[in-house]
């Protein structure tokens, strides 16, 4: 399979090339040149199989890797997860289920992809004998998951930009306390969109990119999205797919997770609806509601990992909705950069609305949902998951199609928000019990691409 850029001007690459490139050289995002489909029998045959086996069957056609090469990488990626099912389902109500994606090493859904791309990168690096420099932007969870996956490797340096003062204390400490010298936490004076814009600017500085061997671990990297497709299948199969359709509600920021759901749907999984749940940074909900995609300053919330207005993977959704027209997408992205937004064409809007629903959850509603779910079911939700649950409940209606809401992080990553809502402070797992006793190591830096590039090159010496 080959991968093409959403902006249509970069060379086509195979899976490994697209994974190592991260972002296409024309500034676009790589997408597969076609989406392989599975018939109903092939989907049904995965029911009841271990998560790793489902992962192999879903991902193999996209990677072109031989089964005996991919299988050990998948097995190693999920061996450290704290739940045998990897992504277990919990029932919240008669027709509403929670998909717990926080049993990985850093307690967020990012581990599903990051642990695997850690293995894929190492495999590629060993064969190629190359070194790489990872630069990632995080609103809290991607950064810690990346550091966990890459810390201590001698052919990788990993730099993570996070918005200073805008992640939870647990998230910050997960990034600033690893002692391995190859991982670097950079606290940027700005918000997540600034961090992500700086990362993209470094990719678009081709001289810098080539000098340092730059690669990406954000969901701009196709390999991240691909690994996230698997739990849409595993959870739907548990609830009777393909015979029974399902719906998903996804707490959304950078649109990577929900776009993985879209890929699952295009592969043949009967997903009736994909519901985008946003906090008050609601650009995606406004886009679906009004047809106008327009930035509106990032506002800090108690679900900080979703405090995003420039939602990178929406570019992939637009590429699909505009019939894979790279020139049209390129023009829209220019308008977003230069004018702060653009109207979505009527045809593309209809294509998006056919697949995606959306909703928005205020700060008070987030807290009230954590409180109410705890009282009603005993389940303690993280604030991002609560945003999802609130929006999902609004979409339940009287449909008999099961709704699955993604529980994207463990509540212990956000103890202040959870305590304020429930009165109880969720405890970190034993292996992290000393997180607040460990020494922190971080570098404060201005929101200035040249300064960040200089720091990276200095550290690489
Ligand atoms: C806990 C949590 N929930 C939800 C999201 C949103 O996911 P996505 O960016 O893939 O839309 C993020 C960050 O990405 C997150 O860290
Ligand atoms: N919420 C994310 C933001 C980056 O998302 P990604 O999926 O594109 O890496 C975070 O926690 O960092």
pLDDT tens across 149-162, in order? 999 998 999 999 99
Ligand 2, atom nearest to 253 Cα: 1
- Residue 295 among the catalytic residues: no
1 inside domain: no
Nearest residue by C-alpha to atom 1 in ligand 2: 305
CATH code of the domain containing 318:
3.40.50.1100
90 inside domain: yes
149 inside domain: no
Cβ neighbours of residue 72 under 8 Å, at least 6 residues apart? none
Rounded to 5 degrees, what angle do the CA atoms 412, 83, 151 make?
65
User: For 188-217, what is each residue's pLDDT tens digit?
Assistant: 999 999 999 999 999 999 999 999 999 999
DSSP state letter for 92: E
Q: For residue 274, what are the domain limits?
A: 85-104+222-422
For residue 181, what pLDDT is reported?
Answer: 97
Q: How far apart are CA 208 and CA 452, in angstroms?
A: 11
> Tokens 């809290």, residue?
140
Query: Out of 71, 110, 295, 413, which one is annotated catalytic?
Result: 110
User: For 75-125, what is each residue's pLDDT tens digit?
Assistant: 999 999 999 999 999 999 999 999 999 999 999 999 999 999 999 999 999
323 inside domain: yes
| C-beta pairs of 293-297 under 8 Å, 24+ apart in sequence | 293/332, 293/336, 293/341, 293/342, 293/343, 293/344, 294/340, 294/341, 294/342, 295/193, 295/336, 295/340, 295/341
Q: Is the ipTM of this complex over 0.90?
A: yes
Q: Is the CB of 255 under 6 A from ligand 1?
A: yes
Residue 418 pLDDT grade (very low, low, confident, very high; cuts 50, 70, 90) = very high
Residue 369 CA, ligand 1 centroid: distance in Å? 18
94 inside domain: yes
Residue 387 CA, ligand 1 centroid: distance in Å? 11
Q: Which ligand is nearest to the CA of 136?
A: 2
**Spatial contact of 384 and 409, defined as CB atoms under 8 Å apart:** yes
194 inside domain: no
Number of domains in the chain: 1
User: For 265-318, what is each residue's pLDDT tens digit?
Assistant: 999 999 999 999 999 999 999 999 999 999 998 999 999 999 999 999 999 999
Q: Is the CB of 306 under 6 A from ligand 1?
A: yes
Residue 61 CA, ligand 1 centroid: distance in Å? 26
Residue 242: cis peptide before it, omega within 30 degrees of 0: yes
Q: How far apart are CA 226 and CA 54, in angstroms?
A: 13
Residue 9: cis peptide before it, omega within 30 degrees of 0: no
**Spatial contact of 22 and 220, defined as CB atoms under 8 Å apart:** yes
401 inside domain: yes
Ligand 1, atom nearest to 110 Cα: 16
Handedness of CA 283, 284, 287, 293 (dihedral sign): positive
Handedness of CA 82, 86, 92, 98 (dihedral sign): positive
282 inside domain: yes
């Amino acid at each position: 399979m080959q991968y093409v850029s959403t902006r249509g001007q970069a060379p086509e690459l195979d899976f490994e090339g697209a994974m190592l490139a991260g972002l296409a050289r024309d500034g676009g995002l790589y997408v597969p040149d076609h989406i392989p489909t599975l018939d109903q029998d092939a989907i049904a045959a995965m029911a009841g199989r271990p998560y790793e086996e489902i992962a192999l069957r879903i991902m193999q056609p996209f990677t072109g890797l031989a089964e005996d090469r991919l299988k050990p990488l998948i097995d190693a990626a999920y061996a450290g997860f704290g739940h045998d099912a990897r992504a277990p389902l919990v029932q919240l109500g008669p027709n509403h289920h929670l998909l717990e994606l926080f049993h990985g090493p850093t307690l967020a859904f990012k581990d599903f992809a990051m642990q695997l791309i850690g293995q894929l990168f190492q495999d590629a690096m060993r064969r190629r004998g190359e070194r790489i420099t990872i630069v990632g932007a995080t609103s809290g969870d991607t950064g810690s998951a990346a550091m966990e996956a890459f810390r201590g490797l001698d052919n990788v340096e990993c730099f993570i930009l996070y918005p200073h003062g805008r992640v939870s204390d647990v998230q910050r400490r997960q990034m600033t306390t690893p002692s391995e010298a190859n991982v670097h936490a950079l606290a940027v004076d700005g918000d997540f969109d600034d961090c992500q814009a700086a990362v993209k600017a470094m990719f678009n500085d081709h001289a810098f990119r080539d000098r340092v061997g730059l690669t990406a671990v954000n969901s701009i990297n196709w390999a991240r999205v691909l690994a996230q497709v698997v739990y849409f299948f595993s959870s739907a199969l548990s609830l009777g797919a393909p015979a029974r359709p399902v719906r998903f509600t996804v707490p959304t920021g950078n649109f990577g997770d929900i776009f993985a759901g879209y890929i699952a749907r295009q592969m043949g999984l009967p997903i009736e609806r994909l519901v985008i749940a946003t906090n008050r940074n609601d650009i995606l909900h406004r886009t679906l509601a009004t047809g106008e995609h327009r930035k509106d300053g990032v506002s800090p919330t108690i679900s900080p990992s979703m405090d995003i207005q420039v939602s990178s993977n929406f570019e992939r959704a637009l590429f699909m909705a505009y019939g894979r027209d790279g020139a049209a997408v390129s023009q829209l992205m220019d308008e977003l950069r230069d004018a702060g937004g653009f109207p979505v064409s009527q045809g593309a809007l209809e294509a998006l609305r056919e697949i995606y629903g959306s909703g928005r959850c205020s700060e008070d509603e987030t807290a009230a949902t954590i409180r109410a779910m705890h009282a009603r079911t005993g389940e303690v939700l993280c604030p991002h998951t609560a945003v999802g649950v609130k929006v999902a409940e609004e979409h339940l209606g009287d449909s008999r199609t099961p709704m699955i809401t993604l529980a994207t992080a463990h509540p212990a990553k956000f103890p202040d928000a959870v305590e304020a809502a429930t009165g109880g402070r969720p405890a970190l797992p034993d292996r992290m019990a000393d997180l607040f006793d460990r020494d922190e190591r971080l570098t404060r830096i201005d929101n200035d691409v040249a300064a960040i590039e200089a720091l990276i090159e200095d550290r690489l010496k």
